[in-house]
């Protein structure tokens, strides 16, 4: 049994290393300052997962949670499509379209609105496994968001 487990770990480890060098997927965490509040600005945190397609396109999921630090909270789970302009290995300048629900939690009530947005930014690779990504976004029903993400390739 011990030999089987070691063989599985060995093969799985090499498979992950080979997969990581292709940079097929990435995941990141970030912080954002946005207008996801009725009367003022909000702070947010986001999580994103990206899958690279041929042609310097990427598809993925993003979830942003925002709060004005009192009674207004927003959750934004979105589907995304991204295009990298420099055609330099899924890094550099990008444009991204987002669509999904805009979930408002206020005074013990939950409201839903449709969300659509555009994001632009720059992905800078830090070696072969990590990246940082400053960005800005515009859309409905929020007005804007400015933030940065850091993540890993795998």
* Separation of alpha carbons 24 and 88, rounded Å: 14
Give the tens place of pLDDT for each residue, 83-93. 999 887 899 99
Share of the chain above pLDDT 70, in %: 86
Position 18 in a domain: no
pLDDT averaged over every residue in the chain: 88
- Judge whether 43 lies within some domain: yes
Q: Domain for residue 32, yes or no?
A: yes
In whole angstroms, what is the distance from residue 41 CA to residue 72 CA? Answer: 11
Q: How do residues 21-63 score in pLDDT, each as one tens digit? A: 567 999 999 999 999 887 789 999 999 999 999 989 999 999 9
pLDDT computed for residue 62 by the predictor: 97
Cis before 134? omega within 30: no
Q: What is the pTM of this model?
A: 0.82
Decide if 8 is inside a domain: no
Query: Burial of 130 by CB count in 10 Å (0-12 exposed, 13-18 middle, 19+ buried)?
Result: middle
Percent of the chain with pLDDT over 90: 71
Tell whether 17 is covered by a domain: no
**Gap between the Cα atoms of 98 and 6, Å rounded:** 43
Is residue 10 one of the residues assigned to a domain? no
State the CATH number of the domain containing residue 66: 2.40.160.20
Buried b (16+ CB within 10 A) or exposed e, 45-84: ebbbbbebeeebebebebebbbbbeeebbbbbebebebeb
Does 6 fall in a domain? no
Q: Which residues contact 22 (CB under 8 A, 6 or more apart)?
A: none
The total of structural domains in the chain comes to: 1
In a domain? residue 101: yes
120-139 pLDDT, tens digit per residue, is 999 999 998 999 999 999 99
Tell me which residue range forms the domain holding 129: 23-153
Q: What average pLDDT does this structure show over 105-131? A: 95
């Amino acid at each position: 049994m011990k030999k089987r487990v070691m063989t599985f770990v060995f093969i799985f480890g090499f498979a992950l290393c080979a997969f990581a060098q292709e940079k097929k997927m990435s995941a990141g965490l970030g912080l954002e300052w946005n207008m996801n509040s009725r009367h003022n600005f909000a702070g947010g945190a986001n999580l994103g997962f990206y899958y690279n397609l041929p042609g310097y396109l990427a598809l993925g999921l993003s979830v942003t949670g925002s709060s004005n630090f009192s009674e207004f909270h927003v959750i934004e789970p979105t589907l995304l499509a991204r295009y990298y302009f420099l055609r330099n290995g899924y890094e550099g300048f990008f444009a991204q379209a987002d669509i999904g629900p805009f979930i408002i939690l206020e005074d013990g009530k939950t409201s839903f609105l449709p969300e659509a947005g555009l994001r632009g930014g720059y992905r800078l690779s830090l070696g072969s496994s990590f990246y940082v990504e400053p960005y800005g976004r515009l859309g409905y029903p929020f007005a804007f968001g400015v933030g940065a993400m850091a993540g890993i390739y795998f």
